[in-house]
Chain A
Amino acid sequence: MPDRTALLSEYLAGPALIEQCVANCSEEELEQRETPGEWSVRQIIHHVADVEVGDAMRLRLMVSHESPLIVAYDEELFASRLYYDRPIAKSLATFTSLRASNGEIVERLPEAGWSRTGRHEEHDLYTVEILVRKSIDHDRLHLAQIKRALQSGA
């Protein structure tokens, strides 16, 4: 059986790690990206917030309804059309508060709750546990990307 306490702990810790990483960034640093064409630090912050909004909805639907349809979204479309040049403070607050709320729902699930499913357009199997694991991986991926962008100075 997976160590769900450890999983939940890492799931809940993700936003703080990202927030700490950008806490003292200047406006210029927020525009840095790992390589030309990649997302800037600012865009990554808006991206993780928007993904958390989608995950919050997915989680609530999977927990409360029987195998709901889980729609996949085009993240590049989000980035190009949702004004990712905005200040990051509101998106950081959204990311942090939603993750706490999502974690709170997961924390109270009975054992079987982790196995509740959704019909994901791009995955054969999609469960609450998979959502949590993917969120942790997503946090790690973008935290590392932010660090590389800030180091690159590009």
Chain B
Amino acid sequence: MGAETRSELLARYRAAPKLLAQSVAGSSIAQLDGAPPEPGWTARQNVHHISDIAVMGALRLRLMLLDIEVETWPTDQEVMQKRLRNDKRPIGPALKTVEGLVESAVSILGALREDEWVQPRPMPGNHSGSVEGWLTANTHHIEEHIDQIRYALTGAC
């Protein structure tokens, strides 16, 4: 990944919390909880899922930079949705959490040397990954679920 591509990706990552907030801005409770046109999570559930994965990503980034290998975390997303009551909780704290974690990650990423971006880091299951890979995966994840939120809201009345 060249410096320009990385810079663009970082800008997309940093912009994601604002796009997320905009995607649900003005939505009523009924809209947030409305079923999407096809089976899937509601807008509210997607927001909480993004927040939950942002927590995981924030910890993963820190452990990667410390070269600490952790075992695969048990993250059954459907179980998390149910047990964390993601269909009931207000989305405000989750939106703030995503914003805080993204800004915090950007702050850390901004301090990295060039070699630290591409250095192989331990990942679960004897795999390795790089900080660039982390940034790519975490940016795509938020963007994909923003698309799902928009889709869910099209089916909500």
Contacts and interface: CB of A to CB of B under 8 A. Distances in A.
Contacts of B58: 53, 94
A93 B75 CA distance: 26
Given A61-B74, A65-B79, 16 more contacts: A49-B104, A57-B55, A57-B73, A60-B80, A60-B84, A61-B73, A61-B75, A64-B76, A71-B70, A73-B63, A90-B100, A90-B103, A90-B107, A94-B103, A98-B100, A105-B84
A69 to B, nearest CB: 7
Interface residues of B, number: 39
A82 interface: yes
Taking residues whose C-beta sits less than 8 angstroms from the other chain, chain A's interface range is 35 or more
Contacts of B10: none
* Most chain A CB atoms below 10 A, which of B80, B89, B94, B97: B97
Contacts of B62: 50, 53, 78, 82
Interface of B: 51-52, 55-56, 58-59, 62-63, 65-66, 68, 70-71, 73-76, 79-80, 82-85, 88-90, 93-94, 96-97, 99-101, 103-104, 106-108, 111
B65 A81 contact: yes
A153 interface: no
Nearest to A100: B93
Q: Is the interface of A mostly helix, strand, loop or mixed?
A: helix
A83 B106 CA distance: 12
A104 B92 CA distance: 10
A94 B75 CA distance: 22
Interface in A20-64: 49-50, 53-54, 56-57, 60-61, 63-64
Contacts of A95: 100
Contacts of B111: 83, 86
Contacts of A49: 104
22 contacts: A50-B62, A53-B101, A56-B59, A60-B52, A65-B74, A65-B75, A68-B74, A74-B66, A82-B108, A87-B107, A90-B104, A90-B106, A91-B107, A93-B103, A94-B103, A97-B96, A98-B101, A100-B96, A100-B97, A101-B97, A104-B89, A105-B89
